[in-house]
Amino acid sequence: MTDHRTNSAAGPPSAFGSDLHLELRGSGLRAGLTHALREAVRTGRLAPGTRLPASRSLAADLGVSRNTVTEAYAELVAEGRLTARQGSGTRVADRPGQPRGAAPAASRATPARPLPRPRPRYGLQPGAPNLADFPRTQWLAAARRALTAAPHDALGYGDARGRVELRTALADYLARARGVYAEPERVVVCSGFHHGLMLMARALRARRVPAVAVEAYGLDIYRDLLTDAGLRTPPLAVDEHGVRTDDLARLRGVGAVLMTPAHQYPTGVALRPDRRTAAVDWARAGGGLILEDDYDGEFRYDRQPVGALQGLDPERVVYFGSASKSLAPGVRLGWMVLPEDLVPEIVAAKGYGDYMSSALEQLTLAEFITSGGYDRHVRSMRLRYRRRRDELVAALARRAPDVHVTGMAAGLQAVLELPPGTERSTVEAAARHGLAISGLTEFRYETADPGGQLPERDALVVNYAAPSQSAWAGALDALCEVLP
Amino acid sequence: MTDHRTNSAAGPPSAFGSDLHLELRGSGLRAGLTHALREAVRTGRLAPGTRLPASRSLAADLGVSRNTVTEAYAELVAEGRLTARQGSGTRVADRPGQPRGAAPAASRATPARPLPRPRPRYGLQPGAPNLADFPRTQWLAAARRALTAAPHDALGYGDARGRVELRTALADYLARARGVYAEPERVVVCSGFHHGLMLMARALRARRVPAVAVEAYGLDIYRDLLTDAGLRTPPLAVDEHGVRTDDLARLRGVGAVLMTPAHQYPTGVALRPDRRTAAVDWARAGGGLILEDDYDGEFRYDRQPVGALQGLDPERVVYFGSASKSLAPGVRLGWMVLPEDLVPEIVAAKGYGDYMSSALEQLTLAEFITSGGYDRHVRSMRLRYRRRRDELVAALARRAPDVHVTGMAAGLQAVLELPPGTERSTVEAAARHGLAISGLTEFRYETADPGGQLPERDALVVNYAAPSQSAWAGALDALCEVLP
């Protein structure tokens, strides 16, 4: 989350913050806020690509409810003036959409496709794998084999846990590749981590859990999902050994903790063994649950893979994985491996049926895994991403030797530590060079450090995996150009 | 919903009801109820195929919370002892699953696929189209064209409204085929009607709507979805002219009405024109919304298609459609066409991103529609279903001339009116003949008629579309055998 309010005296002034100037007009607060934001975008006062403050911050600044802000944002997103994407918050669209209210008859006759928007030339923001390397041919071949072999009733309404072919394939794969204790009966298919966490939040609320602890660095969309479900989200500090699970016992009313033990997102460290143990001990002592987001567990470069925490105690750890990093987010398939007693509660949270995930896609992924295509793809991408990472490290050593790189033993991104106070100006300089990039501050939980005890940490989170082969050299060059 | 409590004095005794015998043991109510139900299934006291009472009824009978019952049901569903499927409620599984608690190491070594269950020989329950006729070859060809042509970023995280290719294709198709006022900007893709209604329920709650009126005959899963979201669901009576929209004005706190105007589900009548007008007038007068579930609008046989109600007032009607009847439920794609001011609220309810629907499947459906494959498939199925319907009518005229058939001008099912008091015995006789079939009572909203003013209506809801070609003659024969 971008929250520059705490350092506005020292750092560069924020586009928003306590010095926000938005004239609220119109009948209601929401209409007024929407109008003011729309005008700010239309007139260019808020430039394309500008990240807007978190809804909570802006609501506090303006003295309005958070709903008012989220609804105003939503309206402008729908109008195409703002964008809201995973990992990059709400931003001003590169090219704001056409104003609405055009004559319906005209827009009916020529269905308005959104105009292609000019984008930054290069993008290194975290979130997606290399989409150009999606194995289209192999995926289509698996789809053909799967659909040809499927019984007719596979196309009907499905088991709430997902297709048994996929649950069986995943149970085998996860046990082998990630050390997960998995049986098909405790695997539940979902539409990605977002959906899995939503189901989990519902189940936790049904258990009357009041709070889920989260890492002080992470994605705001997941914190928001939990708070929208009525759960408090007290933060746990993150340092160079991962999340401080030893602090769990000090938090009140926490029934679960959401964490990324194999590769903290986005700082990139693996959780130190004693902290893994501390988390499991905490869960056992108080009946808590560990929600393990193993978003990129397949991609490990320098050492033995860090096995899933779930293997330590399958009745206290919920394992989440997905195809979003290993294949592509657009596949929209994820999986949970659940403690046995949670299965019925998640089935209930799903509404006792599989109303979300395509049976065809589930069968295709099952076939892709069992035929060995998934392993081959992951191995191939691991080599490519490792090469990319090595190229990044080599280029930085040559052209920006003072920049310290961390969090690069695994995954799709690295963290480039910057001199204090230079993160924001670096991100802005990159934007002027046509390079879209994320500062670490974007991922900082705004309420994690109300007292300001934690040291500020200026850094960039660089996704070296995503650029296509043709864009990579240019992106790397632009990055080196703008580093302080 | 099956609720025989109101007629237990006159009719046959129910397996459940006020005379329920379940000994509650164990530490908690839920554990005790789960145990008692499990024992009843294990010992055969509850026979395979038996429909369990609605959770609300059983909770009231036992004096426990509804959650206790739903959780017990969920646990037994997860164990494979009960099944919960759309349109058929919760039932005892045909072959209860293996007891859990087997040695984990053993079940790990040989992943336990659920044993194949013996099924009734024939099934005529409503819900699914003919799955054997899913156009596999054409669908795979569309998938190949779509995935070959897709830009790389189509595989990334997507617009909350869904892929623009699909929204554009749907806007064209729905305007042409269903008279829907549709622009791509007001189309939102979802994972089927269940998901769409869930999003709508969230948006209505955010608007502080207290209640959504529903038809007195319909699917309990949708009523439950609304009540689980915190909405009351007062019922509107259904008669031979459709739902009594003229009663809407008498209900308090109703902000929306969920209805099936083209083909009432499951009674099969088209809403009489004056009642269509009454619904729109009500919506306009009080700022209400009509939620139009157009689940099978493509399949119309005897007359001009009944256009979508949405065409009468696109700012007061939310149109819902899906591929579940026109293609197959396993495709898990649906669509909403929204009043303009609702788009941002549904985008917010979705979490500002498309976290549910596969991009590949959306692109495939878009290609299937724009290439004409969807139209060809619907035309072909319309002819086949019409022939089936004619065969049903002819067979009944010959072998059960006293049975009056209604609701057959459209869709996938017909209603066979039975002599009063014979529905339950007919359903049971069918089960003994290996024919699974649904009584109309299953779809009756249990609280719709607390005073018992509405006449009991004994009938069967017969899905003539679903049986494969090889099963159809046998199913039809079995049906004629068991009719009174």
What number is the average pLDDT over the span B34-63?
Answer: 73
Domain architecture of chain A: domains with CATH? 29-108 (1.10.10.10), 123-128+376-482 (3.90.1150.10), 133-374 (3.40.640.10)
List CB contacts (< 8 A) between B195 and chain A: 355-356
Confidence of residue B381 (pLDDT cuts 50, 70, 90): very high
What is the pTM (predicted TM-score) of this model? 0.79
List CB contacts (< 8 A) between A100 and chain B: 185, 340
Q: How far apart are CA B213 and CA B279, in angstroms?
A: 11
Per DSSP, A415 falls in state E
Is some CB atom of chain B closer than 8 A to the CB atom of A61?
A: no
* Beta carbons of A330 and B75 less than 8 Å apart: no
Is some CB atom of chain B closer than 8 A to the CB atom of A147?
A: yes
* Beta carbons of A128 and B183 less than 8 Å apart: no
At residue B44, the pLDDT reads 64
* Beta carbons of A356 and B136 less than 8 Å apart: no
Chain B residue with minimum CA distance to A333? B358
- Look at residue A351 and tell me whether its pLDDT is greater than 50: yes
At residue A455, the pLDDT reads 64
Whether the Cβ atoms of residue A138 and residue A334 lie closer than 8 Å to each other: no
Q: In this predicted structure, which of A296-300, B21-25, B70-74, B437-441 has the lowest mean pLDDT?
A: B21-25
The model's pLDDT over B201-260, given as tens digits with 9 standing for 90+, comes to 999 999 999 999 999 999 999 999 999 999 999 999 999 999 999 999 999 999 999 999
What number is the average pLDDT over the span A453-476?
Answer: 90
The model's pLDDT over B411-452, given as tens digits with 9 standing for 90+, comes to 999 999 999 999 999 999 999 989 999 999 999 987 655 555
List CB contacts (< 8 A) between A134 and chain B: 152, 155
Partner-chain residue, chosen from B75, B86, B181, that has the shortest CB–CB distance to A353 = B86
* Beta carbons of B155 and A86 less than 8 Å apart: no
Chain B residue with minimum CA distance to A144? B140
Q: Partners of B292 in the beta sheet?
A: B259, B319
What number is the average pLDDT over the span B94-119?
Answer: 38
- Look at residue A25 and tell me whether its pLDDT is greater than 50: no
Determine how many CB atoms are found less than 10 A away from the CB of residue B50: 18
Q: Which of B139, B337, B342, B360 to mutate to test the interface with A (most CBs of A within 10 A)?
A: B360
At residue A94, the pLDDT reads 72
The model's pLDDT over A267-305, given as tens digits with 9 standing for 90+, comes to 999 999 999 999 999 999 999 999 999 999 889 887 666
* Beta carbons of B329 and A108 less than 8 Å apart: no
The model's pLDDT over A89-100, given as tens digits with 9 standing for 90+, comes to 788 887 533 333
Q: In this predicted structure, which of A245-254, B44-53, B172-181, B449-458 has the lowest mean pLDDT?
A: B449-458
The model's pLDDT over A301-336, given as tens digits with 9 standing for 90+, comes to 876 668 899 999 999 999 999 999 999 999 999 999
Look over chain B and give the mean of its residue pLDDT values, rounded to a whole number.
Answer: 85
What number is the average pLDDT over the span A246-261?
Answer: 96
Look over chain A and give the mean of its residue pLDDT values, rounded to a whole number.
Answer: 85
List CB contacts (< 8 A) between B156 and chain A: 127-128, 131, 328-330
- Look at residue B350 and tell me whether its pLDDT is greater than 60: yes
What are the tokens at A217? 């660095």
Whether the Cβ atoms of residue B343 and residue B197 lie closer than 8 Å to each other: no
Whether the Cβ atoms of residue A265 and residue A242 lie closer than 8 Å to each other: no
Is some CB atom of chain B closer than 8 A to the CB atom of A357?
A: yes
SS3 string of chain B? CCCCHHHCCCCCCCCCCCCCCCCCCCCCHHHHHHHHHHHHHHCCCCCCCCECCCHHHHHHHHCCCHHHHHHHHHHHHHCCCEEEECCCEEEECCCCCCCCCCCHHHHHHCCCCCCCCCCCCEECCCCCCCHHHCCHHHHHHHHHHHHHHCCHHHHCCECCCCCHHHHHHHHHHHHHHHCCCCCHHHEEEECCHHHHHHHHHHHHHHCCCCEEEEECECCHHHHHHHHHCCCECCEECEECCEECHHHHHHCCCEEEEEECCCCCCCCCCCCCHHHHHHHHHHHHHHCCEEEEECCCCCCECCCCCCCCHHHHCCCCEEEEEEHHHHCCHHHCCEEEECCHHHHHHHHHHCCCCECCCCHHHHHHHHHHHHCCHHHHHHHHHHHHHHHHHHHHHHHHHHHCCCCEEECCCECCEEEEECCCCCHHHHHHHHHHCCEECEEHHHHECHHHCCCCCCCCCCEEEEECCCCCHHHHHHHHHHHHHHCC
